Amino acid sequence: MKKIIYVFTIFAIILSVGCSIIEPNNDLNTFQPNRIGSIEPTVTTTVPEETHTPPTAQPSPEPTKPPPTMPPSRGMVALTFDDGPSPYTDKILDLLEQYDGRATFFVVGNRLDSYRDTLIRAVNLGNEIANHSQTHVRLTSLSDNEVVSEIQSASAAIESITGISLPIYRPPFGITDERIVNISTELGYGIVKWTLDPLDWRDRDADIIYYRIMSQVEDGSVILLHDIHQTTAQAMERVIPSLIEQDFQLVTVSELLNHRNGGLEAGSIYGSYCAWKIWD
Ligand SMILES: [Zn+2]
């Protein structure tokens, strides 16, 4: 009898150990996708970092904070301000903050050092800082290397202050050609122009700017403005509350393109080069 109990006990132990060996294998088979998912990051870290680093700077598309809720049924307008920052930029930020709106600032790289606080404030309020070249020169008159430098220097200047550099680029004067588009594509940028130009750079009159915007604005408008002009900042005192009153959401270019166009891909061009209208 003792022998039988002994054999039974040995058998039970073998069975138990056997199960404990088999179980992980069963888990592995049953939950393979999860296990593969948990293993993968370890594998990727062993790949040399250089193989993931492109030859040119890749701006990070990461936003600093999650975009606010944007009901798709409400119209969206992207106010864009070029050539700054300037002493008038903070006034525009005040208005955007007051009316819970956001905008995109296409800044010039060599102006940024004097406006570090303004840029950081703009980003913290949910606005977007995008690339408008380093020195605001006509890119079509530059060599390939100079074009690359204009774009990358501005990108580096923006990132050094805000910690973010978006792959969104607007060429100075909106002038571009196939070569500039190809270079922008290689660097990972999409080009954003505009759909509504109230000519604020030419006609320094807040009432005229207000009228031109309010008479043409529609869902999806990308409005070209320049925050280096006092009259533009003055016009915003009426334009921003009026757009809100008409139930438009004031969004960044990225937000508009993400909601209306599925985003902006490298090499694509959004908006028209010249949306001027004959006025008067
Ligand atoms: Zn410009």
Per-residue pLDDT tens digits for 90-136: 999 999 999 999 999 999 999 999 999 999 999 999 999 999 999 99
Stronger pLDDT, 99 or 269, i.e. the higher one: 99
Q: Are 225 and 200 in contact (CB under 8 A)?
A: yes
69 three-state secondary structure: coil
The domain segmentation of the chain, as residue ranges, is 2-52, 76-270
Which of 25-34, 65-74, 115-124, 215-224 shows the lowest per-residue confidence on average (mean pLDDT)? 25-34
Question: Out of 3.20.20.370, 3.30.300.350, 3.90.700.10, 3.40.50.620, which CATH number does the structure's domain 76-270 have?
Answer: 3.20.20.370
Catalytic residue check, 113: no
**Could you tell me the distance, in angstroms and rounded to a whole number, from the CA of residue 172 to the centre of ligand 1?**
4
Mean pLDDT of the chain, nearest integer: 79
Bridge-based pairing state of the strands 128-131 and 249-250: unpaired
In sequence order, the β-bridge partners of residue 225 are 81
Residue 184 and residue 191 in contact, taking contact as beta carbons nearer than 8 Å: yes
pTM score of the predicted model? 0.75
Kind plus residue range of the DSSP H or E element containing 267: none
Cα–chain center distance at 178 = 23
Q: Considering 82, 197, 200, 227, which one is annotated as catalytic? A: 82
Taking the centre of ligand 1 as the mean of its atom positions, its distance from the CA of residue 173, in whole angstroms, is: 5
Q: Taking CA 70 as the corner, what is the angle to CA 220 and CA 198, rounded to the nearest 5 degrees?
A: 30
Query: Catalytic pick from 83, 197, 200, 226?
Result: 226
Q: Distance between CA 129 and CA 80 in Å, rounded?
A: 10
* pLDDT of res. 28: 29
Is 226 among the catalytic positions?
yes
Neighbours of ion ligand 1 (CB under 5 A): 82-83, 172
Q: Rounded to the nearest whole angstrom, what is the distance from the C-alpha of residue 97 to the centroid of ligand 1?
A: 24
For residue 239, the CA-to-ligand 1 centroid distance in Å is: 21
